Structure 1
Amino acid sequence: MRLLVVEDDLPLAESLVALLTSSGYAVDCVHDGASAEALVAVEQFDLVILDLNLPQMDGLSLLRAMRARANPAAVMILTARGAAEDRVRGLDLGADDYMAKPFDVREFEARVRSLLRRQAGLRSATVTLGAVTLDLTTRQFSGADQPLDLPPRERALLELLLTRAGKVVTKEAIVQSLTSLDDMLSDNAIEQYISRLRRRIAPFGLGLRAVRGIGYLLEKAADRG
């Protein structure tokens, strides 16, 4: 999952990026509304965490511009402006959630997980295919009811594929979801991660099929005939 933090308080921005990165998300960060508007116009994000009091372009103007362009990213407003009229205005303009500063980190993390579940079209807190289950609350995998430990990049890849099981996930979508602007992920690297992940999930009845020229499909091994 790829996230964008838009926050002009530099220490807070750094803390949010560190927190979200440690949870396995690909995170970009900008510190003013104009930079954020330019970035969301050319990059795809699953979730934008948006302050309101921003230089160059305020958060509500950015939100209005995003929704006017039908940008599908979920938006969580995270701001010191906690008055009811501010909440109502933000939500009416298209925010998916509104959280006032100061905030509890555990609640913040739970709200991020909830928004990303909704963004992926998932109603349950768990996703299961074959003998592999992903707990979306803890973001931990199990295989045949035993913990399934994966390196961070493979874990993020399996989460993406599992939440879109039965659908072809393009290489472009993999790059967008797994990397921030500071990362590089070549086609060869993707193929290596796919190969490693394919070996790890095979014992649990899952297969990863390459769809030529498009991407990859996660499916039960039996479904391949």
Structure 2
Amino acid sequence: MRSLVIEDEYEVASYIAKLLDEWNGLVDIVSSIEDANEACHNFRYDLAIVDRGLPDGDALQWLKAFDAHSERPAIIMLTARDAGGDIVDGLNAGADDYLTKPFEPQELLARVRSVLRRPRSVALPSVRLGNIELDVGTNRVLIAGREILLRRREALLLEALLIRQDRVVTRDTLVAAIYGMNEEIESNSLEAQLSRLRRKLSEHRADVEIRSMRGIGYILRRVGHH
């Protein structure tokens, strides 16, 4: 799962990001509508926590424009504006929920769990290849019906390959899928993640393979299929 926190107070944004870590996914932080638009253009998000008052405008305008997009995330407005009319405006603009500051961390997490449980037209309940099944929302992985444990980046890497199965995936695409926007990445980090994932798939007798396409990228396919 990938989440976006749109908040111009860095300490608040960092705190929210830490709370969301329990979902074992990535959390990106931006501080303006312009940066939020760019992030949503480059990545698909499952969840967005949005402060209403941003340096370059009212986030309601971003919400209204994004609501019509077929792949919009679940959206929780988090703001100091607590008048009844403000809450109605936020919900009418497309927010799935609305929470006022200051907030209790457990209440925010409860609301996150609630909005993520709601059926969404873009949600992929699971993706499969061979005897592997991965729940896109939780990164839960089954091989031949038995759950296996993967580290966060390993699960995100498998997801990125599974949803593009039988297609060559570039290195840049995989890096973007498993690292946050502001993370520093060591030159051989992706290859190390791929090596660990290959080993675990082999240990659990997955009938798929990750093949390197020299100078192009990687492809996930069933063993023996070409």
Q: Which TM-score band (shorter chain)?
A: 0.7 to 0.9
Distance 1:57 1:11 in 2: 20
- What SS does the aligned partner of 2:209 have? strand
Match of 2:44 in 1: 46
Contact 1:207 1:220 in 2 (8 A): yes
Q: Deviations over 1:88-131 (max 9, x none)?
A: 2x23xxxxx5211165524413534768x855x62xx2322222
User: TM-score, length-normalised on structure 1?
Assistant: 0.73
Offset at 1:9? 5.9
Distance 2:148 2:52 in 1: 40
Distance 1:110 1:164 in 2: 29
Match of 2:115 in 1: 111
2:173 matches 1:173: yes
**Structure 2 letter corresponding to 1:145:** G
User: CA 1:38–1:113 in structure 2 vs 1: closer, same or farther (change >3 Å)?
Assistant: same
**Structure 1 letter corresponding to 2:112:** F
Distance 1:137 1:180 in 2: 17
User: CA 1:44–1:61 in structure 2 vs 1: closer, same or farther (change >3 Å)?
Assistant: same
Offset at 1:143? 1.7
User: TM-score, length-normalised on structure 2?
Assistant: 0.73
Matches within 5 A, 1:137-156: 137-156=137-156
Match of 1:101 in 2: 99
Offset at 1:59? 0.7
Distance 2:17 2:62 in 1: 20
- What SS does the aligned partner of 1:180 have? coil
- What SS does the aligned partner of 1:134 have? strand
Matches within 5 A, 1:122-161: 122=124, 125-161=125-161
Contact 1:170 1:216 in 2 (8 A): yes
Distance 1:135 1:193 in 2: 20
Percent identity reads: 29
Match of 2:75 in 1: 76
Matches within 5 A, 1:79-90: 79=78, 81-83=86-88, 85-88=89-92, 90=93
> CA RMSD, aligned part only?
3.3
Match of 1:163 in 2: 163
2:37 matches 1:37: no
Match of 1:94 in 2: none
Aligned residues: 209
Match of 2:217 in 1: 215
Offset at 1:10? 5.8
- What SS does the aligned partner of 2:128 have? strand
> Which stretches in structure 2 are left out of the alignment for 5+ residues?
80-85, 101-106
Contact 1:52 1:60 in 2 (8 A): yes
User: CA 1:50–1:134 in structure 2 vs 1: closer, same or farther (change >3 Å)?
Assistant: same
